[in-house]
Chain A
Amino acid sequence: MPELLSVKNLKIEATSYPPGEQPKVVTLVEGVSFDLQKGKVLGLIGESGAGKSTIGLSALAYGRGGCRIIGGEVLLNGRDILKLDRSGINSVRGAQVCYVAQSAAAAFNPAHKLGDQVIEASLRHGIMTRDEAEKRALYLFRVLGLPNPETFGDRYPHQVSGGQLQRAMTAMALCPNPELIVFDEPTTALDVTTQIDVLAAIKHAIEETNTAALYITHDLAVVAQISDDIMVLRHGKTVEYGTTKQVIEAPKEDYTRALVSVRQTKRDEASDQSGALLKIERIHAGYANGFKVLHEVSMHLPKGQTLAIVGESGSGKSTLARVITGLLPPSEGRITFDGKELPRALKGRTNDELRRIQMIYQMADTAMNPRQTVRDIIGRPLSFYFGMHGARKTERVKELLDQIEMGPRFLDRYPAELSGGQKQRVAIARALAARPELILCDEPTSALDPLVAEGILNLLLRLQEETAVSYVFITHDIAIVRAIADSVAVMHRGRLVRFGPKSKVLSPPFDDYTDLLLKSVPEMEIGWLEKVLKTRRMESAGN
Chain B
Amino acid sequence: MMESGPMTGPVLTDGTAGEPPRSADLSGVPAKPNPTGEIGGTFWRRFGFRRPLAALILQRLGLSVGLLFAVSLMIFGGIEALPGDFATTYLGQSATPQAVENIRKDLGLDRPWSERYLNWLGGAVQGDFGTSWASKNSVSEQIGKRLGNSLFLAFFAALISVPLAVGLGMLAVQFRNRMPDKIINVISLAAISLPEFFIGYLLIMFFAVQWGVATFPATVYDSMSFTERLSAIALPVATLVLVVLAHMMRMTRAAILNVMSSAYVETAELKGLSTFRIIARHAAPNAVAPVINVIALNLAYLVVGVVVVEVVFVYPGMGQYMVDAVTVRDMPVVQACGLIFAAFYIFLNMAADVLAILANPRLRHPR
Contacts and interface: CB of A to CB of B under 8 A. Distances in A.
Contact of A159 (B19, B271, B285, B367): B367
Given A269-B2, A272-B8, A163 B23 contact: yes
B12 interface: yes
A428 interface: no
B23 A89 contact: no
A95 B24 contact: no
Interface string A83-121: 000000111111100110101011111111000000011
A512 B272 contact: no
Interface in A285-332: 289-291, 296, 299-300, 302, 312-315
Interface in A163-213: 163, 165, 189-191, 193-194
B11 A109 contact: no
Interface in A487-543: 487, 492-493, 495-501, 503-505, 511-513, 516-517, 539, 542-543
Contacts of A487: 9-10
A124 B267 contact: no
A468 B286 CA distance: 54
Contacts of A351: none
Contacts of B20: 512
A410 interface: no
Given A91-B272, A501-B9, A313 B26 contact: yes
Contact of A156 (B22, B286, B365): B365
Scoring B19, B21, B282, B367 by chain A CB atoms within 10 A of each residue's CB, the highest score goes to B21
B365 to A, nearest CB: 5
Interface in A139-179: 155-156, 158-163, 165
Contacts of B189: none
B interface SS class: loop
A543 B266 CA distance: 26
- Which size class do A's interface residues fall under? 35 or more
A405 interface: no
Interface string B248-282: 00000000000000111011111111100100011
Given A156-B365, A158-B361, A498-B13, A93 B271 contact: yes
A162 B267 contact: no
B263 A103 contact: yes
A99 B273 CA distance: 13
Nearest to B13: A499
A161 B271 CA distance: 23
Contacts of A499: 10, 12-13
Scoring B10, B11, B263 by chain A CB atoms within 10 A of each residue's CB, the highest score goes to B10
B9 to A, nearest CB: 3
B15 A162 contact: no
A315 B29 CA distance: 16
B273 A124 contact: yes
Contact of A500 (B13, B17, B41, B361): B13
Contact of A543 (B23, B29, B270): B23
B36 interface: no
B179 interface: no
B106 interface: no
Interface string B274-307: 1001000110011000000000000000000000
Contact of B269 (A93, A315, A493): A93
B6 to A, nearest CB: 10
Interface in B201-229: none
A513 B2 contact: no
Contact of B24 (A93, A111, A312, A503): A312
B16 interface: yes
A500 to B, nearest CB: 4
A191 B21 contact: no
A501 B10 contact: yes
B5 interface: yes
Given A60-B270, A93-B272, A110 B264 contact: yes
A95 B262 CA distance: 22
Contacts of B362: 110, 156, 158
A417 interface: no
B70 interface: no
Nearest to B277: A124
Interface string B21-59: 111111101100000000001000000000000000000
A159 B365 contact: yes
A272 B9 contact: yes
B262 A90 contact: no
A495 B17 contact: yes
B125 interface: no
Contacts of A156: 361-362, 365
B27 A105 contact: yes
B267 A274 contact: no
Contacts of A492: 17, 21
The 9 A-B residue pairs with the shortest CB-CB distance in the complex, in nearest-first order: A162-B26, A314-B24, A273-B9, A93-B272, A94-B271, A161-B25, A500-B12, A106-B263, A94-B272
Interface of A: 60, 62, 64, 89-95, 98-99, 101, 103, 105-112, 120-121, 124-125, 155-156, 158-163, 165, 189-191, 193-194, 268-269, 271-274, 289-291, 296, 299-300, 302, 312-315, 487, 492-493, 495-501, 503-505, 511-513, 516-517, 539, 542-543
20 contacts: A92-B272, A93-B271, A98-B271, A107-B263, A109-B282, A110-B286, A112-B281, A124-B277, A162-B26, A268-B1, A271-B2, A273-B8, A273-B10, A274-B8, A496-B13, A498-B15, A513-B17, A542-B23, A543-B22, A543-B23
